[in-house]
Amino acid sequence: MSAVQVSFEISPIFQRITTGLDPERARAEVTARIHAQGAAVPDELIDEITAEYQKVSTMLADTGVLYSGSCFGQFDGDWSMGSLTIGLQPLSYRDPEVAIAGMTKILAAEHGRHADVSALTLPCGQATLVIRQSPDLRLPAEFSESGEDLPIDVAQLQAFIPVPPSSVPGAQTLLTVTFSTPSTDHWVDCELLVPLLNSIRFRPAREAELGAPSGAPAPEASPAPSIAGGPTAAFG
């Protein structure tokens, strides 16, 4: 299996997430970042943001990822947040298009009516896109008024991209991009991923280390996938 070097462009509204935070330190960091923007935020909203932030921070301490960041800010006058992770993992496949067809079919069956699953073409190759809303995240009891764990709806967009052999011969690697937000009314936030997805490029790791030319020029970007209606609005 060939080692893969991945390049991509991240919007400046995202800040890297500190790994391994406990709930107390996660809340302190979230609060500091919100107050730095000079705005008052309700405690219950800080609780929700902290729970999502700490969840991702803990995951990063346990799992190696290429990048993880978060964004906090106002969207149409309401506070919103999101987290972004980009990671690589092994995947056995002969043809990326066949792999995409299989993943799209399996994920569509797995999520049923609760997700929109589709295949799309990106400049870097074929991808499976999954958009769903899930109550998997729970607010810890110590942060809730009831003293019990509370479910929090989380909207999530994931793109699964098998590294094409045309970019990295012998690659058996899957790139996964995940954007999650408990601000489920702000689906337009997911349009922040469109420039990122279109910027992804793969090349052999050894070639990247030597600074050699990456070979054939990157294909021209196809029209941005339609993720949500309305205008793109950056926040942070």
Give the Cα separation of 191 and 213 in Å (integer). Answer: 31
For the chain, the structural domain boundaries read 4-210
Mean pLDDT of 33-59: 82
Mean pLDDT of 187-194: 64
Read off the pLDDT band of 217 (50, 70, 90): very low
Q: What is the pLDDT of residue 134?
A: 66
Read off the pLDDT band of 185 (50, 70, 90): low
Give the Cα separation of 100 and 120 in Å (integer). Answer: 9
Read off the pLDDT band of 138 (50, 70, 90): low
CA distances from residue 235 to 72, 73, 78, 172 in whole angstroms, order as listed: 7, 5, 11, 36
Contact (CB, 8 A) for 33 and 235? no
Read off the pLDDT band of 164 (50, 70, 90): very high
Mean pLDDT of 128-147: 68
CA 131 to chain CA centroid, nearest Å: 11
Q: What is the pLDDT of residue 18?
A: 82
Residues 6+ apart with CB under 8 A from 212: none
Handedness of CA 47, 133, 120, 171 (dihedral sign): positive
Contact (CB, 8 A) for 71 and 51? no
Read off the pLDDT band of 225 (50, 70, 90): very low
Q: Which structure tokens are listed for 94?
A: 């002969």
| Pairwise pLDDT comparison (87 vs 224), residue with the higher score | 87
Maximum pairwise Cα distance, the chain: 59
Give the Cα separation of 160 and 40 in Å (integer). Answer: 37
The helix/strand/coil state of 188 is: helix
Structure confidence by residue, pLDDT tens digits, 85-119: 998 999 999 999 999 999 999 999 988 887 889 99
Q: What is the pLDDT of residue 114?
A: 79
pLDDT of 24 higher than 70: yes
pLDDT of 231 higher than 90: no
| Pairwise pLDDT comparison (162 vs 78), residue with the higher score | 162
Q: What is the pLDDT of residue 104?
A: 96
Read off the pLDDT band of 174 (50, 70, 90): very high
Using a pLDDT cut of 90, give the percent of the chain over it: 33
Q: What is the pLDDT of residue 126?
A: 96
Report pTM: 0.69
Residues 6+ apart with CB under 8 A from 146: none
Residues 6+ apart with CB under 8 A from 36: none
> Please, what is the end-to-end C-alpha distance for the chain in angstroms?
39
Mean pLDDT of 35-58: 83
Which CATH code fits 4-210? 2.60.120.1690
Determine how many CB atoms are found less than 10 A away from the CB of residue 216.
Answer: 8
Determine how β-strand 4-7 pairs with β-strand 125-139: unpaired
pLDDT of 223 higher than 50: no
Q: Which structure tokens are listed for 179?
A: 């954007």
Q: What is the pLDDT of residue 49?
A: 84
